[in-house]
Amino acid sequence: MTTPAVEDYLKAIYQLSVEGGAVSTSAIAERLGIAAGSVTGMLKRLAEAGLVEHTPYYGARLSGVGMANALRIIRRHRILELFLVDVLGYTWDRVHDDAERLEHVVTDELIDRMARVLGEPQADPHGAPIPTAEGELHVRSYPSLAELEAGEHAVLRQVPDDDAAALRYLAQLDLRPGAALEIMDVAPFNGPLRVCINGTEQIVGRELASKVLVERRVN
């Protein structure tokens, strides 16, 4: 079962399971934008194919084979994004949708060749880790920018890749992976943060800051 729909399901289940345990039918339906009834039918077929373990009213988990397939699709997507940015000159806010389409039609050989051209990268343009050709993915847990307090220093590590408008705004603020951050002030009552970004002070709203992952640095 290697149809685009199956690949979308496996990737969605993986991404949702990272956020916590077994994945509910409703969560998958919301992520993919389809009816819950359709999800139930597909999960049954995926379970019969040995790609997921599905318990009604409890949720779905990827099997070993399902996990390998999900990581293969994620590897394709993230290398495609990086290739579009670094080689073809796309801006980082334009690559997600194209990568979503291309990930279903490219071959693993093409992806491996792209990876070699890119120098076997470890992260995509948005900072998300890229699975290796052997199916290994090293994921680190980072706090969000919104969790930091005044006086803390950090390096930006990852931003979400599926909101083009947010990415354009992040670029305006120079909030890209690798950016050096210093929290100057945090407004009370869920207010915005005043952040020094690569030496320039900017105001970052709390909602946006909650989506940006950072690595704390010792002052």
Retrieve residue 145's tokens.
């920018």
Q: What is the pLDDT of residue 57?
A: 77
pLDDT (tens, 9 = 90+) of the chain, 219 residues, equals 689 999 999 999 999 998 667 899 999 999 999 998 899 999 999 999 999 998 887 889 999 999 999 999 999 999 999 999 999 999 999 999 999 999 999 999 999 999 999 999 999 999 999 999 999 999 889 999 999 999 999 999 999 998 999 999 999 999 999 999 999 999 999 999 999 999 999 999 999 999 999 999 987
Q: What is the pLDDT of residue 208?
A: 95
Domains and CATH numbers, the chain: 4-62 (1.10.10.10), 73-139 (1.10.10.10), 145-217 (2.30.30.90)
Q: What is the pLDDT of residue 169?
A: 96
- Residue 28 near residue 12, CB atoms below 8 Å: yes
Q: DSSP code of 154?
A: E
Distances (CA, A) of 130 to 150, 206, 212: 32, 28, 18
Q: What is the pLDDT of residue 81?
A: 98
DSSP string for residues in 25-56: HHHHHHHHTS-HHHHHHHHHHHHHTTSEEEET
How many beta carbons lie within 10 A of that of residue 49, not counting itself? 13
Q: What is the pLDDT of residue 55?
A: 85
Q: What is the pLDDT of residue 1?
A: 60
Is the full-model pTM beyond 0.85? yes
